[in-house]
Amino acid sequence: MSLSYSQKIALIDYFSNFTSERRMELLRYVLDHRTRYITVVLEDIFQSQNASAVLRSCDCFGVQDVHVIENYNKFNVNPKVVMGASKWLTLNKYSNCGDNTLAAINALKQQGYRIVATSPHTYVTSLQDFDVDRGKFAILFGTELTGLSEVALDNADEFLMIPTYGFSESLNISVSAALCLQNLTERLRISTTDYKLAQEEYADVLLEWLRKSIKSWRSIEKRFLSSITV
């Protein structure tokens, strides 16, 4: 059943009777800092500890959406590393197309995202110089061994690099993601850009979080919806 915005708000209020006030305050506090202005795209990540660490960083820095591309490698999560963070994120998987990378990029471009590829080989913009205010953006991270695919690189709008000064050519993907997200989200929060969730997006995510927080939420929701449709 598709709910109207007013029904979602009413259901959220109803659900609040089945959780503590402190819990509701925490959910709203975290949600107040969530953003879809930045999103993360993971292409063919096969090491579960890296996948899980990236998800944890997304949650820590307030990035709500993660897009997972499975061309050759299945995306696995390590519960001991992710520490429940994936529960609070919106995961979008691309695994059924002939070219899942292109499908993901096209879907994001249709939503107005700048496609930003991370690559140590293509120096265009350093992390510190990247313009966070020029429109929402999707940051692409590639597989541990070879980085992003040629398809991803060929279809990127911009390229981002974390400057390094040692013998190692690149950072581990989970470290790269954490550094990027900390820097970019922090600069976004002190900017004048409106990065927060839209009103209905806020309601959608809060409703989903409450469903994940309340036991027997299905029967509670069914009872509520029956009462308002009688």
d(CA 120, CA 134): 23
Whether residue 155 is found in the same domain as residue 205: no
The answer to whether residue 108 sits within a structural domain is yes
For the record, the structure tokens of 129 come out as 């110089």
Give me the pLDDT at residue 61, please: 97
Whether residue 208 is found in the same domain as residue 148: no
Whether residue 95 is found in the same domain as residue 202: no
Domain encompassing residue 206:
198-230
Q: Please provide residue 43's backbone torsions phi and psi, each rounded to the nearest 5 degrees.
A: -105, 115
The answer to whether residue 178 sits within a structural domain is yes
Give me the pLDDT at residue 76, please: 78
175-203 tens-digit pLDDT: 999 999 999 999 999 999 999 999 999 99
Give me the pLDDT at residue 129, please: 93
Whether residue 117 is found in the same domain as residue 93: yes
Whether residue 57 is found in the same domain as residue 69: yes
d(CA 6, CA 199): 11
Whether residue 185 is found in the same domain as residue 214: no
The answer to whether residue 150 sits within a structural domain is yes
Number of structural domains in the chain: 2
Give me the pLDDT at residue 229, please: 66
The answer to whether residue 210 sits within a structural domain is yes
Whether residue 110 is found in the same domain as residue 213: no
Whether residue 120 is found in the same domain as residue 223: no
Low-confidence ranges of the chain (pLDDT < 50): none
Give me the pLDDT at residue 179, please: 96
The answer to whether residue 20 sits within a structural domain is no
Give me the pLDDT at residue 75, please: 80
Which residues are registered as beta bridge partners of 139?
40, 116
The answer to whether residue 12 sits within a structural domain is no
Give me the pLDDT at residue 183, please: 97
Whether residue 112 is found in the same domain as residue 209: no
Give me the pLDDT at residue 163, please: 85
CATH of residue 190? 3.40.1280.10
d(CA 140, CA 153): 9
Whether residue 138 is found in the same domain as residue 222: no
Give me the pLDDT at residue 121, please: 64
Q: Which residue has the tokens 């307030």?
A: 62
Give me the pLDDT at residue 9, please: 96
